[in-house]
Amino acid sequence: MKKFVTSIIVAALTTGCFGASVTTGLRPNGVVESDTGVSWLWGITTTNTKATECKDGLAKVETYWPWWGALLVVPLTGGFITPVTKEYHCADASK
């Protein structure tokens, strides 16, 4: 039991963080939209997000692993499933 607890603590302390940000140069409209998906098979594939409400394109997109995913979901699934949060700002065509 002691080895199991130690391995869980080591796994929790050695998890990495993932984050990516893309800025297009367009002005954002001030509204932040978000979508939560999953990364499957240790990051080999992930879910897609279609920002259909952004008729004028995207101004900024940020993708990251939420803190609770690294502490709760990843250890329970062995990394097979990892939650991913995507936040995006639609472009403002009026400016």
15-25: b or e for each residue (b if 16 or more CB lie within 10 Å)?
Answer: beeeeeeeeee
Global confidence as pTM: 0.68
* pLDDT at res. 35: 87
pLDDT at 1 over 60: yes
pLDDT digits (tens, 9 = 90+) for 64-93: 888 788 778 878 888 788 888 889 898 887
pLDDT digits (tens, 9 = 90+) for 42-68: 777 777 777 788 888 888 888 888 878
pLDDT at 95 over 60: no
